[in-house]
């Protein structure tokens, strides 16, 4: 596991947002290389607790090793963060003082060819965060109807050539299954006219993003997990979420906005009858971004956006 590398983005900003304290209980829903988790545990010594989650077995193994010095202050689960409420109930945790979600795919996952996340190397077309369960990207590409493929690539990849890409995929798989990343890349390159390729974006970027999101049910997991985490926050507790593309950021922004909303009565009533009062305060009206120094050290932080909310 020495080669597992994942640079946590916006570490100082996350720590400032959560302000961990001794005796607090915190959740890291996306452990990865345990960068954020280690900072939270150090800042909340001597007896702050952290419950960590990740679907990736390799990430779990590394996190256990790196967080071992914190002893029984750490509990780690190999689970989707959408299952956090159930897991916390199992261990008797009824409320938390803060949480962090870093929604980016780790450098380790992207760079390990056999994981099939990258369109830069040839590998089995997998893309599963948890390789022990669920359909792979190859399963989706080779079995879904053309219309469903088009919907996924349109909605999750925001690819304007989605209809054409889906059509080319179906034609290619009719001849033989699409089994590797570069086989799919070749199909996508054939579908998108070369004159329309974007200068700074690989033509397969959006389709690969769409398939990864679909394979791992990332947006549904985010919606479900975020709703539960907000319910679990204690008064004064804060949640910090780092997103990397507009689909995720939109869900986070709307979830925080809805949680912070007061009266929801229809317009035109003489007064409020719903009695709803705000339970949360949005700390970041605009998302925090990585500075030039961090981007230079970690180019993948360029697209990171951090939003923070507080239970009041």
Model confidence pLDDT, tens digit, residues 132-171: 788 999 999 999 999 999 999 999 999 999 999 999 999 9
- On whether both 247 and 264 belong to a single domain, the answer is yes
Answer yes or no: is pLDDT of 269 > 60. Answer: yes
The whole domain housing 197 covers 116-216
Answer yes or no: is pLDDT of 109 > 60. Answer: no
**Residue 5 — pLDDT band, cuts 50, 70, 90?**
low
Q: Please, is 90 exposed, middle or buried when counting C-beta atoms within 10 Å of its C-beta (0-12, 13-18, 19+)?
A: exposed
Instruction: Give domain status of residue 3, yes or no.
Output: no
CA distances from 36 to 29, 285, 291 (A): 10, 23, 18
Domain boundary among the residues 199, 216, 233 is at 216
- On whether both 187 and 204 belong to a single domain, the answer is yes
The overall average pLDDT reported for the chain is 92
- β-pairing, 305-311 with 280-282? antiparallel
**What average pLDDT score do residues 29-36 get?**
94
**Residue 130 — pLDDT band, cuts 50, 70, 90?**
confident
- On whether both 165 and 201 belong to a single domain, the answer is yes
- What distance in Å separates the CA atoms of residue 138 and residue 203, rounded to the nearest whole number? 19
- On whether both 263 and 174 belong to a single domain, the answer is no
Domain boundary among the residues 216, 236, 253 is at 216
Answer yes or no: is pLDDT of 80 > 70. Answer: yes
In the block, residue with structure tokens 């929604």: 103
Q: Which residues of 164-263 form beta strands (DSSP E)?
A: 233-243
- On whether both 86 and 130 belong to a single domain, the answer is no
**Residue 1 — pLDDT band, cuts 50, 70, 90?**
very low
pLDDT confidence of residue 200: 86
Query: Which position has the higher pLDDT, 48 or 7?
Result: 48
CA distances from 283 to 27, 59, 260 (A): 19, 30, 10
- On whether both 19 and 162 belong to a single domain, the answer is no
Question: Which tens digits make up the pLDDT trace of 204-234?
Answer: 999 999 999 999 999 999 999 999 999 999 9
CB atoms within 10 A of CB 263: 13
Answer yes or no: is pLDDT of 265 > 50. Answer: yes
**What average pLDDT score do residues 72-92 get?**
95
CATH number, residue 82? 3.40.50.150
Indicate the number of domains in the chain: 2
**Residue 99 — pLDDT band, cuts 50, 70, 90?**
very high
Cα 162 from chain centroid?
23
Question: In this structure, what token pair is assigned to residue 105?
Answer: 């795919």
């Amino acid at each position: 596991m020495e080669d597992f590398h994942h640079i946590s983005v916006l570490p100082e900003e996350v720590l400032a947002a959560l302000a961990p304290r001794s005796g607090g209980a915190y959740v890291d829903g996306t452990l990865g290389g345990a960068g954020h988790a280690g900072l939270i545990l150090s800042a909340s010594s001597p007896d702050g607790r952290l419950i960590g989650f990740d679907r990736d077995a390799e990430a779990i193994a590394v996190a256990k090793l790196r967080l071992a010095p914190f002893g029984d202050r750490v509990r780690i689960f190999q689970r989707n963060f959408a299952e956090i409420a159930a897991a916390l109930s199992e261990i008797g945790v009824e409320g938390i003082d803060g949480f962090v979600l870093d929604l980016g795919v780790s450098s380790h996952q992207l760079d390990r060819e056999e994981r099939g996340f990258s369109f830069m190397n040839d590998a089995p077309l997998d893309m599963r965060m948890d390789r022990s369960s669920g359909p792979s990207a190859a399963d989706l590409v080779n079995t879904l109807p053309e219309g469903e493929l088009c919907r996924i690539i349109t909605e999750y990849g925001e690819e304007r050539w989605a209809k054409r890409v889906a059509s080319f995929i179906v034609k290619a798989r009719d001849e033989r299954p699409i089994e590797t990343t570069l086989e799919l890349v070749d199909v996508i390159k054939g579908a998108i006219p070369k004159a329309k390729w974007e200068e700074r974006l690989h033509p397969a970027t959006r389709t690969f993003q769409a398939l990864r999101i679909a394979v791992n049910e990332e947006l549904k997991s985010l919606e479900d997990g975020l709703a539960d985490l907000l319910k679990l926050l204690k008064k004064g507790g804060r949640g910090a979420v780092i997103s990397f593309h507009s689909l995720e950021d939109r869900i986070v922004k709307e979830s925080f906005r809805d949680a912070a909303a007061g009266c929801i009565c229809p317009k035109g009533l003489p007064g409020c009858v719903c009695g709803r009062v705000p339970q949360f305060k949005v700390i970041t009206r605009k998302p925090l971004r990585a500075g030039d120094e961090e981007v230079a050290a970690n180019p993948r932080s360029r697209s990171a956006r951090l939003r923070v909310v507080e239970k009041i």
